[in-house]
Structures are given as C-alpha cells and as structure tokens.
A and B are shown apart, each in its own frame.
Chain A
Amino acid sequence: MDHIEAVKTMAAERYLLRELSNEEIDAFEDHYFDCTECSQAVLDETLVLDGGRSLVRQERRQRRSPMRMWVPLAAAGLFGAVALYTVPMAMRVPALVAQVNSYAKAEANANVLGIVGDQSAIDLEKFREQTTPILITARSTRTFLLPYGPAYRSFSQIHAQVQDSTGQIRGTVILSPDLAETSRLTLTPMRRGHYIVVIEGLSADGKKTQLRKIPFVVQ
C-alpha cells in the first residue's frame, strides 16, 4: 500500500474502526510505520477514540458517585497519592525474582536482581555509551542488556548495583567477567522513578573501580 492509496481509501480510519482485512492491516502497518503523515493520523485518531472512551467512563463513574464531584481536585489528587503508598505492598513493592544461573551469585533477599545468561551472539562492544536513560515500563519483567566493556576482563568480579533516586541501594548482583559479557539484567516490577545501575570491577586485591553508570527510568 502506498501513501496515495492509504489516503484515498481512508486506511487510517478503517484501520482504527477495524474495517480492514488481515492482508490490508499488514499492508497498512507496513506503510504507516514508514510514513510519518499516516502514523500521525493513526496516533491522533487513537487519541480521539481513547480520550472519548475514557471521558465516557469518567462520566459514568461520576454519575454513579455524585459525591465525588464535590471533592476538590487537589484533595482527589492527594487521596490518589496516599492510596498509591498504602495499597497492600504485595501488589506494589517489587517482588524481584532471582533468575540465577549456575555462574551468578545473587543475594537471597527481596532486592535481588536477576541475571539471565543470554545465549545469543551480541556484539556488545559496539553497544552505545549509556548516557541516555533506558525507558522501562513498570508493570512487567524487564530485561535490558548489561553493557560490557573490554576492561571488565581485567577484574576478578563485576558488581552491578541498582540505586534509586535517593541513592538507596535496591539490589546488587555479583558476576564473573565472562558472565558480564553475555548477560542481561532482569528487573521485575519496580516503582516508577529514576534509577541508576552502577557497574564496578573488583580486582584480585579487593580494590573497586567504577566502570559505568547507566541511568534508567521506570514509567
């Protein structure tokens, strides 16, 4: 499908109204991923539809609970913020699950980060300098590549430590340089916020050297 055909057949509207066949969907997706005009149309119409549905749901909720209409917005926001922290911790606190393989040594507590051995061949030496925050969403198990550098091999151990924005350490994993080469860092659900992974090398004489800092944002 080319752009002229997409516009002429109102493909964006038909796509969102679920009027396209499977073949047409594939063709249009192939097109709009490349075409910023069509992708903007899809995005804006999605905003209209989702915004409208959300608006209707909000109105229905307000109709069911008229008292809520009287709650000042600031108080409602405050209530929401408090509720976020008093919801049972089993649902909110990251239950970090250790996925330990035979090479990694992970601390057996709630703040464990998992290291998963990655069997695929990844050219990590060309991986970018981690100056850009990695965006990670909060509500699922996430993995991202643990950046590896040639300098890691001069150390006897590599420590990967996650700190939150207050500097509190949320978890530490110790691994061998070999494992650091092919591993991914696995994070299970975490609170939204800014974090940083600090990677340090430990020499045979016990001296620690900071190798890298990788900021990431949980949204």
Chain B
Amino acid sequence: MTTAVMDNHHEHHDTGDNYVFGFWIYIMSDCILFATIFATYAVLYQGTFGGPGANELASIPFVFVETMLLLTSSFTYGLAMLSIYKGDKSRAISLIIITFILGATFICMELTEFSHLIHEGNSWQRSAFLSAFFTLVGTHGLHVVFGLIWMLLLVTQLSIHGITPVTKTKLSCLGLFWHFLDIVWIFVFSIVYLMGVILK
C-alpha cells in the first residue's frame, strides 16, 4: 500500500455526513442534559428562601441585548458556513471571528450579571432557586465558552490547512453546536427571565 492510499483511507473516516450525524447524536444527548437541568429549575424556582426571585434577576433590556447577540452570532456563523462551501476562506474566517466577538460579548454580559449577584450575597448557596438558576444559566454559559475556544482553534486550523473535507466537517460540527446553544438560550430567556417577570 502506498502512503497516498493510506492517507485517503484515514481521511475518509474523518469526514462526511456520518461524522456530522454522529455529532448530531451527541447534540441530542446534550438536549437531555439541559432538559434535566430545566426540570430541576422548574421544580425549585419558587424556593427563594427569602432571597431574590426570578423577577429580580437582570433587567429585560439587558437580557434582550444578550439574546440579540447570540441570535446574530448564529446568523453570522451560518453565513460563514456558506462562504466555506463557496470556497471563500478569508470571508469565512472574518465571519467566524465576528461570531466569536458576539459570543464573547454575550459571555462578558453574563459574567457581569453573575458577579453582581454574587457580590450582593446572592450566589448559588443562597437558595434552592439560585442554585438551580446558576446551574442552568452557568451550564449554558460554559457550553458557549467551549464553543468560543473551539472557534479559535478552528480558525487557526483553517488558516493553516485551508478548506479541506476535514476542516469542513469540523466546521459543520461547530455549526451544529453553536446553533444548538442559541436554541437552548431561547428556552433560558423565555422560562427563566421572561416567565420570572410574568409569574411574580
């Protein structure tokens, strides 16, 4: 066997729709994870133990900005993937970097919100509600942070290796991950923040 044939064989296993489908199955399992954390939140959200409730978290405009940041980042990532399929490497990299900046801003806002709560004395140790809140929103935020790190790594790989079936497949997986995080956020802002204000 020549080296060329061996490389081909190796490359074939790392690419293709089976690989992306496997990642989709992982995303489905991540949905289950978030569902259990949501269920926990639903059970515990009234356990405020004298501390702040869901209506006393961040303000509506603040959460609206966070939501728009994440939604727009999902959109820019979609455009990045289109550039990849058209073979436009530099445009794709620019769009992924814009996605990164939007996501990083989201995380900064979330960290400000968390640190404000903690400095007031309202950390996850304050009440059952706050434990559930920090777990839910924190887990989502942690996923976003991993996505951001992944973005930086893929931009680097893209710059070095260019658009290949391998980098395309990896970018598709990151795309699934990033869109999925925006979808989870729909439920976070609806159930935690908006319901929190309505169900005072």
Asked if A and B are interacting partners, one says: no
